[in-house]
Chains A and B, each alone.
Chain A
Amino acid sequence: MALLEVRDLRVVFQRKGEVPFTAVDGVDFDVEPGQTVGLVGESGCGKSVTAMSIMGLLPKRGNKVTGSAKFEDTELLTLSDRQMRDRRGRDLAMVFQDPLSSLNPVIPIGLQVTEVLERHRDMSRRKAMVEAADLLDRVGIPDPRRRLDEYPHQLSGGMRQRALIAIALACQPRLLIADEPTTALDVTIQAQILALLAELVRDSGTALIMITHDLGVVAGLCDEVNVLYGGRVVERGGRHDLFQVPRHPYTYGLLQSIPRLDAPKGERLSPIRGSVQDNIPWTSGCAFAPRCPNATDTCVEVTPEMVPDGAGSVRGERLLRCHNPVAQEVPA
């Protein structure tokens, strides 16, 4: 059974006197226990809002969340605030792009870790302190005992992100959601943090939802990948299948537009035309149609459904939302 099962998740933002805006438009995906699942897509496609709605972290007013997000047998979307807060410490945890905004500036790092341990793992302060130093050590913070007394602003960006990961993992959650955890960091620090995350989830059996716009990060880390476009998942597959045989024209287009470090130099990039501002609503067809080189009349008249894709399923099941997928030689 899936650890997390998200079905038809929809988030509509509406402010008084404004037109409602659908940020997440019927998202489905599963996370198996211990699995690392990627949510990838460009700015504004609904990655963060998806995560925040699952975690119950969206603002109280001005939005409507429908659909279902089941964690084991519990429906998360209908939990009370108290129940959700309790879950968040214990079963689910989240790491954000900007660690400074999720750490408390006036409380030493150590206390921020022990607080979680005392609250959710019923540890005494003394025991929690020992455990906290151990946690900081595990996430690679040098001289952890000394760091316990320091404040977030005394740590570098990379060290802060490590501290946040330590807090998130303090209660041995079964699901960790990381929303662009390395986007604000330099590439050498990013490599450190990604290696750390991979090692921690492997050792602890924690499932991980990795949210990123970087296809390179996904390629190295995720078992399963969901590509989002305009608030919907348009393609899902194992990372090897997805990168080797991209079937959705958007996925394919993204891979063609990225300059690659290992590609022969001098090749011209093939960008996707237009921008997300050209999207049409999913209700009247395929949102990507105005930018899609494969688009036909059907694409602007009939909304494509997410269906199993035989041709793209090389090593595992593959799902695709497209009337005219990219024809691909499927490697034997």
Chain B
Amino acid sequence: MTAPATEPAAPAAHPLIEADDIKVHFPIKRGIVLDRTVGHVYAVDGVDLVVNRGETYGLVGESGCGKSTLGRAMLKLTEPTSGRVLFDGVDLSAMKGEKLRTMRRRMQMVFQDPMSSLDPRQSVESLLVEGMRAHNLDKGKESTGKRLRELLSAVGLPSTALRKYPHEFSGGQRQRIGIARALTVEPDLIVADEPVSALDVSVQAQVINLLEDLQDEFGLTYLVIAHDLAVVRHISDRVGVMYLGGLVEEATSDDLYAEPLHPYTRALLSAVPVPDPVVEDRRERILLAGDLPSPARPPTGCRFHTRCPWKQAEKCDTERPALREITPGHRVACHWAEDIRDGKIRAHEVKPELVEMEWDAPDDASLAGPASVTETLGP
């Protein structure tokens, strides 16, 4: 493609993976044989999202907002309740069996806790070869051996690691193994679900740098899921913010942090502690009242209206705001985004609402606790 002479050549965006109105609703079952559906957890409730080839898309939001479920649904590891996923232009929804398996090679996942995703009884070598075998990429001892050594060196591990077992490595090294394993099948897309949140900060930085290097080296596309906003801001080109199963804002990483437009994003960004006392002393926090509502009973209208300091009497609790483009590349799902941005609407106080927890009464076994609090604290 040739760019018009008058404008600087912006790289054209080629979608690699597209989610089209994805919904994932988990049934809540009750009864002895667990067959009566009494409701649904609206884990992902209508998300449109595009990850372009070669970019890093960061997905943030608080615990339970549906990030992992969305990631899994996009790889068809969880079957979406409705909606479509296109990978490289091909609709995955209808794909099954061998075709799907072949397609899967091109999308790999990296998890938070490398230990739980790596079989402790398998040596690193056998962990790495496994995927290659499954996709007929193991073309003989010599070439496979060479490839494994190359991969290990790419993730910063010595080739002696091949003979070792996962427990012989530190957390950071295990995450490197997890990444190497994803790379064995030469994927285009890596979905990394909280790839650094189990690591110490000093080691976190090593893995973040590694992910960046590998992206350059192998031309990878990343969908990075994380709750740490500073990490996401650092590695992502574009960021999507989720709240209770929906995207509430999406923008380039720079725009999102420079001018967050959704009230939830504003509160989220203002809540992150910054390791600088001067900044901390000056900062104005938007403290949200109360807890996240249950995804089994999401609020009507805008899902954020029960906690939103800018909530208006009109529309907010009746109409669900669509994700609309407000400035180029910046999408926001708030009825009043422009007025809030322009200072025409001011924040007000919010009374916290009670959020009832969705629990069955625990059975007797789980009630065998200590007799009192002070006793728990006793030696």
Task: List chain A positions with a Cβ less than 8 A from chain B.
Answer: 42-43, 55-60, 81, 84-85, 88-89, 94, 101-107, 112, 115-116, 119, 140, 142-143, 153-156, 158-159, 167, 186-192, 194-195, 213-220, 239-240, 243-244, 253-262, 265, 268-273, 275-277, 291
CA distance A256 to B267 in the complex (A): 26
Contact among B209, B290, B369 for A105, CB-based, below 8 A: B369
Q: Count the A-B residue pairs with Cβ separation under 8 angstroms: how many?
A: 199
- State whether the Cβ of B166 lies closer than 8 Å to any Cβ in chain A: no
Q: Which residues of B contact A271 (CB under 8 A)?
A: 202-206, 209
Q: Which of B77-85, B89-97, B115-123, B276-284 contacts A (4 or more CB under 8 A)?
A: B276-284
Given contacts A142-B354, A220-B280, A271-B206, whether A261 and B379 have CB atoms under 8 Å apart is no
Q: Is the CB of B233 within 8 A of A188?
A: no
- Known interface pairs A107-B372, A271-B209, A276-B200; A216-B231 also in contact (CB < 8 Å): no
Contact with A along B264-283 (1 / 0, CB 8 A): 00011111111111111100
CA distance A244 to B281 in the complex (A): 14
Query: What are the residues of chain B within 8 A of A276 when measuring CB–CB?
Result: 170, 200
Give the chain B neighbours of A116 by CB distance below 8 A: 373-374
Q: Is the CB of A105 within 8 A of B366?
A: yes
Closest residue of A by beta carbon distance from B65: A186
Cβ contact within 8 Å between B372 and A257: no
| A153 contacts B374, C-beta separation under 8 Å | no
**B201, B353, B357, B374 — most chain A CB neighbours (10 Å):** B201
Residues of B within 8 A of A89 (CB): 374
Our pick among B254, B269, B366 for the contact of A265 (Cβ within 8 Å) is: B254
Question: On chain B, which size bracket covers the interface?
Answer: 35 or more
Q: Which A-B residue pairs are the 3 nearest by beta carbons?
A: A216-B273, A271-B205, A259-B234
Known contacts A85-B378, A186-B63: does B355 contact A156 (CB below 8 Å)?
yes
Is B233 a contact partner of A259 (Cβ separation < 8 A)? yes
A residues near B172, Cβ cutoff 8 Å: 275
Cβ contact of A158, chosen from B229, B291, B353, B354, cutoff 8 A:
B291
Q: Check if A262 sits within 8 Å of B279, measured CB to CB.
A: yes
Q: Which residue of B lies closest to A271 (CB)?
A: B205
* A154 x B200 contact (CB < 8 A): no
- Provide a sorted-by-A list of 11 A–B residue pairs whose CB atoms are within 8 angstroms: A85-B379, A89-B374, A103-B373, A104-B372, A191-B271, A220-B277, A260-B275, A261-B229, A265-B233, A269-B209, A271-B206
- A243–B287 touching, CB < 8 Å: no
